[in-house]
Amino acid sequence: MDPFSVRPLSENEWAELRKIRLESLAKHPNYFSPSQDETRLSESDWRQRITNPKASTLGLFLKGDLVGITAVVIDRTNSTQAFFVSSYIQEAHRGKKLSKLFYEARIRWVQQHPEIATIRVEFDEHNHVSQKACLGFGFKYTSSYDDDGRKTLVFVRPI
């Protein structure tokens, strides 16, 4: 039996989400572009992330310990599109093909929302691991844009 599993976080796991999300931002600031200073978010803000009906915040667990996070969010302006966001796996667990678990879980969630027609994922051009993972799940490069001096790549996949 695989010791790793992925499941949606429960609202009472907000503190664990906060801890690992802030860890990801501190260790890899070039790979994440938060829209606000997440160190200032309240308990209520973190709980809302987990309970948002237009999203799913997922945890990667190793025997009950949270070692990674990811999310899928329905686009606010286009309900036919979902975004895969915020993927992070702690360094000790990288290189084990665990992002496959993230992709499978998020795709399952999207498939439960028939209004969604496409999935979009974006990442820094130097994040070759993310690029390889998304290509393996049928995403196609569509465009890029400059984000504060960094080139961000855009990949899309139909459902």
- pLDDT tens-place string over residues 22-50: 999 999 887 887 778 999 999 999 999 99
DSSP type of residue 92: G
Sign of CA dihedral 136, 117, 70, 85: positive
Q: How does residue 1 score in pLDDT terms, banded at 50, 70 and 90?
A: low
Split at pLDDT 50, 70, 90, the class of 147 is: confident
pLDDT at residue number 158? 97
Domain ranges of the chain: 4-158
Using pLDDT thresholds of 50, 70 and 90, give the confidence band for residue 2. Answer: confident
Q: Compute and round to an integer the Cα radius of gyration of the chain.
A: 15
Write the single-letter amino acid at 137: F
CATH of the structural domain 4-158, one choice from 3.40.1620.10, 3.30.420.40, 2.60.40.10, 3.40.630.30 = 3.40.630.30
Of the candidate ranges 23-32, 60-69, 110-119, 149-158, the one whose mean pLDDT is the lowest: 23-32
Question: Quick check: helix, strand or coil at residue 16?
Answer: helix
